[in-house]
Amino acid sequence: MYMTRQEAYVDLSALGAEGLHWRYVEHSMHAPWFYITLTRHSDGYTSRTMLQTMDPAVLATVICSASNELSVTDVMIVTPPYVNGTPSWQMEKLWEFSQCHSEEHGSLDSYLVTGKRYYTPELASDIEYIKLEKCIYYNALGI
């Protein structure tokens, strides 16, 4: 969940800007969130834009909606301390995103970053018996 404060609002309507513009947003939930870099190809031109979301379903939808005109170029995951095992939030390149299932834990989101894998909700015990429940939505390694 994002929160905004009125003092963060930037009025760009005089410049013809669409939507609401904010200097900052506040996160009220301590859950992983994602920066998704999209590349648009139109009439011989290429442009990039960035989406930010805390919803793994949005991440999956954006990835699965890629086309010749719009592709996912890169995904970064930002994890809170309880997920990454450090004392602070960390931003890392996301190499793979999938959904898994175990009899003991039910459905889990799986995030592969360099040298480790995170699961949400957090696993309390051995992960040996996790079985793939859905497709791998994102694989930056190409495997």
pLDDT at 29 over 60: yes
Q: Which position has the token pair 């513009």?
A: 21
| H/E element, 64 | helix 56-64
Omega cis (within 30) before 121 = yes
pLDDT tens-place string over residues 110-125 = 899 999 989 888 764 5
The closest alpha carbon to 2, from 37, 34, 29, 36, belongs to 29
Q: Are 60 and 72 in contact (CB under 8 A)?
A: no
pLDDT tens-place string over residues 33-77 = 999 999 998 888 999 999 999 999 899 899 888 788 888 999 999
Q: What is the mean pLDDT of the chain?
A: 83
